[in-house]
Structure 1
Amino acid sequence: MTDLTLPRIATAHNRVSYGLTLMVIAVLISPLIDIFAKLAIATVPSAEITAVRFLLQVVFILPVVLVRRTLLDLTWKKSALHALRGGLLVLTMLSFITTLKVMEVADAIAIFFVEPIILTILGSIFLKETIGWRRYTACAVGFFGALLVIQPSMKEVGLIALLPIVSAFGLAVFLLVTRMVAQNEDPWSMQFHAGIWGGLFCLALLSLGEGSGSSVFDPVWPEGNAWLYLLGVGVAATISGVLGVYAYRAAPASVLAPLQYLEIVSATIFGWLVFGDLPDALKWLGIAIIIGSGLYIIWRERRVEKTASIAPVSPAI
């Protein structure tokens, strides 16, 4: 190893640590989307909440992409990928929001956490990312903790318990596509175009569902606090989405995947503060395991970073 190689390694590990930090912030904010969505879904259909989420995302990001002059930086190939990302986000959010009508936020998120396992596997297959036994173990331990939190039972919630799994698969593929596109694309532009496509897909669904009486697709005019809840969905989704894009530009998907388990921690806290859903002893144990798996990943990456930044003593030099 030469003296010129060491700075490159140190820089690479610094980027990984930067990506880890952004991902932690993103996953701690992300449950606010679900909290506001659960508040809104009492009177507003799932597809409409999803549509407003994308509309507000576009409105918030438009000034940024105009200033950065990246609004028209789009080829047909990129357009197709953004359309795919938008469609996957619609599938992800629509499935999950529909679940929130009958399930607690923390429970739905706990089932959803098969997603990091799916993402890790897809990352190793399609992105050829190197995954060691430590990362696989961290994913497995975190998933076990999520199972303790959710205490899943098909008898209690029926087939709707499968919707978070559908949502998890949609997000895993979305993140995989994001990882492929993010290296050569402006993160703000990515979020803007995903919002455009997601909004168009939602409007099409709402148009088809108008007058159907469906609690998922038939649009209504929001009243009272529903406007504030919808605004909260859009703001939280925009912030966490942009942070996530920057994180995946800096670090491999397989490294970031276990950190997403931290989302169950903030989801449990927010669920308790807003809805009074206080976890029992078994759920607290699961939360502790989830925190431990996430902190281990951070510790592991920082240890590797410090090792790489110190030049080894070699008789050959």
Structure 2
Amino acid sequence: MTSDKPLLGIFLMISFCAVIPFGDALIKLMSASVPIMMVLLFRFTAQSLLLLPYVLFKKGRAWLRYSRRIYFLLAIRTITHAAGIVGMYFGLKYMPLADTVAIAFIFPLLMLLVSHFYLGEHVGPHRLITSIIGFVGTLMVVQPNFVAVGLNALWPIFVALTFVVFMMVTRKMTREIDPVSIQTLSGFMAVITLLFCMLVLDDRIWDGFAWVMPQGVQWVYLIGSGIIGTFAHLLFTVALRYAPSATLAPMQYLEIPFATFIGWIIFSDLPNFLATLGIAVTVGAGLYIIYREQRAPGKEASEAV
């Protein structure tokens, strides 16, 4: 079992937060012209092919002999991962990048509760208060107006719910399987399932099942999304190997300022004064967690705050 190294886990999670919005931006660019199932298929195919050589070299055939329990957890992880991408796809289709990401950030508060009651991880008052402050900053960034966007505002909330399960299952698995094997097996599971659905189901049932040959720049978006998503979630999985989810949950708030910046660069979405203030609050909450971890370098993360 890998011992907790909270500062390493925090660094990896911050790296994830900096990288993943680029993948979200590519998904937003594709949402108007590429069916969601094609996006998912390319995403998980890239993940499988990029990581398979390493797994075969490092593990041989041993990675095929995991227990049924592990494959069950892999299946849950794969389903929630794909469902989260679907939710993000439709959220980004109807809302700005920063707004979509910010609404989805109800999940760290949910994750803290799940970590305490289900995973048995200690959630001290500092973590809880910091997460609440970070969530308040999130509300200041997004300035949610569900009347304006209708039911489509619920897509990021759906992403949050799926991500809680995804994070919880990943945390359990990283104590038994190396992160690259998790990513590779999840990728193959997703590809097989998606191919079956697209072959059996008709786009007359739902246009998301349509087979559409990418054209021009769409190839760049699809391949780029697959590479970025694979690398980002590898960072995420390794981070959960070294730090408790309760420690890493507040770090996820740092994705909001990164997403806001990328949304500004690519889509010219500029935050107003209140949103800028919210970003500062969010970043401050994340930095405070790092400060708390540095004050207790010799303790387990579950005892640090």
TM-score after normalising by structure 1? 0.89
C-alpha separation in 2, matches of 1:124 and 1:133? 12
1:90 aligns with 2:82: yes
C-alpha separation in 2, matches of 1:156 and 1:208? 37
Contact 2:80-2:165 within 8 A present in 1 as well: yes
1:75 Cα offset (Å): 2.2
C-alpha separation in 2, matches of 1:12 and 1:220? 46
Q: Which residue of 2 aligns with 1:251?
A: 243
1:100 Cα offset (Å): 1.1
Report the AA paired with residue 25 of structure 1: S
Q: Which has the larger radius of gyration?
A: 1
C-alpha separation in 1, matches of 2:298 and 2:66? 39
C-alpha separation in 2, matches of 1:119 and 1:41? 28
Q: Which residue of 2 aligns with 1:40?
A: 30
Report the AA paired with residue 199 of structure 1: V
1:264 aligns with 2:256: yes
C-alpha separation in 2, matches of 1:240 and 1:215? 29
Q: 1:189 to 1:307 in 2, by over 3 A?
A: closer
Q: Once superposed, what is the RMSD of the aligned Cα atoms?
A: 1.8
2, 6, 22: which one aligns with 2:12: 22
SS in 1 for 2:64: coil
56, 64, 72: which one aligns with 2:64: 72
Report the AA paired with residue 23 of structure 2: I
199, 209, 215: which one aligns with 1:207: 199
C-alpha separation in 1, matches of 2:226 and 2:248? 24
SS in 1 for 2:271: coil
1:50 Cα offset (Å): 1.6
Q: Which residue of 2 aligns with 1:99?
A: 91
1:105 Cα offset (Å): 0.8
C-alpha separation in 2, matches of 1:211 and 1:183? 40
C-alpha separation in 2, matches of 1:161 and 1:119? 21
C-alpha separation in 2, matches of 1:217 and 1:117? 34
Q: Which residue of 2 aligns with 1:168?
A: 160
C-alpha separation in 2, matches of 1:55 and 1:297? 36
C-alpha separation in 2, matches of 1:232 and 1:23? 20
1:209 Cα offset (Å): 4.5
Q: Which residue of 1 aligns with 2:294?
A: 302
Q: 1:223 to 1:103 in 2, by over 3 A?
A: same
Contact 1:87-1:197 within 8 A present in 2 as well: no
Contact 1:44-1:219 within 8 A present in 2 as well: no
99, 106, 109: which one aligns with 2:101: 109
1:34 Cα offset (Å): 0.5
How do 1:128-139 residues align onto structure 2 when only pairs under 5 Å count?
128-139=120-131
Q: Which residue of 1 aligns with 2:225?
A: 233
Q: Once superposed, which parts of structure 1, at least 4 consecutive aligned residues long, lie more than 6 Å away?
A: none
Contact 1:48-1:206 within 8 A present in 2 as well: no
1:275 aligns with 2:275: no
SS in 1 for 2:222: helix
List per-residue Cα deviations over 1:30-84 (Å, max 9, x = no partner): 1111001111122101222122111110011111111111542422221111111
Of 251-260 and 72-81, more deviation after overlay is shown by 72-81
Contact 1:19-1:250 within 8 A present in 2 as well: yes
SS in 2 for 1:231: helix
Q: 1:73 to 1:20 in 2, by over 3 A?
A: farther
TM-score after normalising by structure 2? 0.93
1:223 aligns with 2:215: yes
C-alpha separation in 2, matches of 1:150 and 1:209? 37
Q: 1:65 to 1:221 in 2, by over 3 A?
A: same
Q: 1:138 to 1:27 in 2, by over 3 A?
A: same
Report the AA paired with residue 179 of structure 1: R
1:213 Cα offset (Å): 7.2
1:200 Cα offset (Å): 2.7
